[in-house]
Amino acid sequence: MTNEGTKALDKVVADNPEIGRSVAAGGISTNVHVAGRGAPVLLIHGSGPGVSAWANWRGLIPVLSRDCMVVAPDMVGFGYTERPAGARYELATWVGQMSGLLDTLGLNQVDLVGNSFGGAVSLAFAVKHPERVRRLVLMGAAGVAFDLTPGLDAVWGYQPSVENMRRMMQYFVYDRSVLSDDLAVLRYRASIQPGFQESFSSMFPAPRQRSVEALATPEDAIAALPHRTLLIHGRDDEVVPLQTSLRLNQLLQRSDLHVFGRCGHWVQIEKAADFARLVSGFLAENDG
């Protein structure tokens, strides 16, 4: 690459807030945002097309980083993390990436916040590495069996176009007035970055009920988890139904459930201030 080309690429990286720093995580070059100091909190994003850690958690990172060390990676297959040839997009891969990231950063134990798909991955990680998790926050989480919803089918079956992005985004929120054509265009452009759609379309092929089941952790293993857990869900979620958090609340003996009325799947957007307050307050409580 010429010097001019290198400078142009550097400018693109510098101008893109979704790009953090590159860290080796289980053999995968992982794009990760690290902010703040204090007790470490690992944020695991959802699985929408074009998603990245920054896009998912940009409202929460500034709040949590006042008192905590926030670590927000792009999981392999998403965002600006490397997509190795032959990568298997499955729970074992994502759990291994998380473990490798903590090893690289020298973090023995973290609080873990997972959104939707990220909730399923967080549950699987907690089962495999219970000693590495202090507390769990699961928002609109998958990870238990449920019937595939039309909303989730639309999300995982997304084919790039502005119109498809606009239609898909309507499943995410209760109040559709928060959506705009500009946002649809922005997320569409994110979804067509090089390599993004190729990995995404291979991740959740039809029939997609199989992918719901592949993300599920056995219920007896969930019930054995000892961690204090905060469950958060939008009552009107059309992507991952409220029943998943109700079931997790039954299984996790040390869990509390907060349900937001008039709220869809994007709790961190529709109820941003309340969500940040709940999470930060829960993580700040004394152990007991």
Active-site residue set: 116, 237, 265
User: Among 163, 110, 141, which Cα is nearest to 267's?
Assistant: 141
Contact 30, 74 (CB under 8 A): yes
Give Cα 65 to chain centroid, integer Å: 18
> Which stretches does DSSP call E strand in the chain?
21-25, 28-35, 39-44, 68-73, 110-115, 133-139, 228-234, 255-260
Structure tokens at 250: 């039954």
Q: Which residues have CB under 8 Å from 186's CB, separation 6+?
A: none
Q: CA distances (Å), 78 to each of 21, 57, 85, 160, 237, in order?
A: 15, 14, 14, 15, 23
Instruction: Report the DSSP beta bridge partners of residue 70.
Output: 35, 41
Tokens 């990436």 -> residue: 97
Rounded Cα–Cα distance for residues 87 and 25 (Å): 14
Q: Which residues have CB under 8 Å from 127's CB, separation 6+?
A: 217, 221, 222, 224, 225
Contact 165, 49 (CB under 8 A): yes
Question: Widest CA span of the chain, in angstroms?
Answer: 59
Q: CA distances (Å), 216 to each of 123, 140, 209, 223, in order?
A: 9, 14, 11, 13
Q: CA distances (Å), 288 to each of 51, 275, 284, 285, in order?
A: 35, 22, 12, 9
